[in-house]
């Protein structure tokens, strides 16, 4: 009896190793290998949208305060986030968004601790050989 149980367990292990694992993020039938989030952070001050330089932009998901990735905006307020494979699997545009720590004096809008938040929006899906990339934005114009 013990021998037959060992064989059964061995067969189950082999069968489970042959099945393909979950591929993670799938959009419109495409399995996404890479996610890129490109955007520019603007704040209105005196009615004019101005780029926000040196602002910390971070990605959070599921209402968590854990930052999956964090970058700084350049002098033009632009930033790019490229997610690794694990981060791509964790991404869900319905539960993920970008937080921005805006330096004081950039926005007429007063937010708690100068943190602003925006949901992600899918822009495009691009296939390049074996890599399928989903491009997102968040329309980060505040104030």
Supply the CATH number for residue 48's domain: 2.60.40.10
Our count of domains for the chain comes to: 1
Classify residue 10: in a domain, yes or no.
no
Chain segment 46-80, per-residue pLDDT in tens: 777 889 899 999 999 888 888 999 999 999 999 99
Cβ distance 73 to 39 under 8 Å? no
Tell me, yes or no, whether 45 lies in a domain: yes
Predicted local confidence at residue 143, as pLDDT: 61
**Residue 1: inside a domain:** no
Specify the pLDDT at position 14.
42
Asked whether residue 84 is domain-assigned, the answer is yes
Residue 28's φ and ψ, nearest 5 degrees, are: 50, 40
Domain presence at residue 51: yes
| C-alpha 95, offset from chain centre | 10
Give the pLDDT score at 9.
Answer: 47
> Range of 58's domain?
23-142
Q: Which residue has the tokens 């932009």?
A: 57
Low-confidence ranges of the chain (pLDDT < 70): 1-24, 108-112, 141-143
Three-state SS for 71? strand
């Amino acid at each position: 009896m013990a021998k037959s149980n060992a064989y059964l367990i061995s067969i189950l292990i082999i069968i489970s190793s042959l099945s393909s694992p979950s591929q993670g993020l799938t959009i419109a039938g495409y399995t996404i290998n890479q996610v890129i989030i490109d955007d520019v952070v603007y704040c209105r001050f005196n009615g004019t949208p101005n780029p926000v330089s040196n602002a910390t932009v971070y990605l959070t998901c599921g209402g968590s305060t854990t930052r999956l990735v964090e970058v700084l905006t350049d002098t033009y307020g632009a930033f790019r986030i490229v997610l690794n494979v694990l981060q791509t699997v964790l991404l869900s545009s319905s539960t993920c968004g970008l937080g921005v720590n805006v330096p004081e004096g950039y926005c007429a809008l007063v937010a708690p601790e100068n943190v602003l938040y925006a949901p992600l929006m899918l822009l495009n899906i691009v296939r390049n050989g074996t890599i399928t990339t989903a491009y997102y934005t968040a329309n980060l114009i505040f104030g």
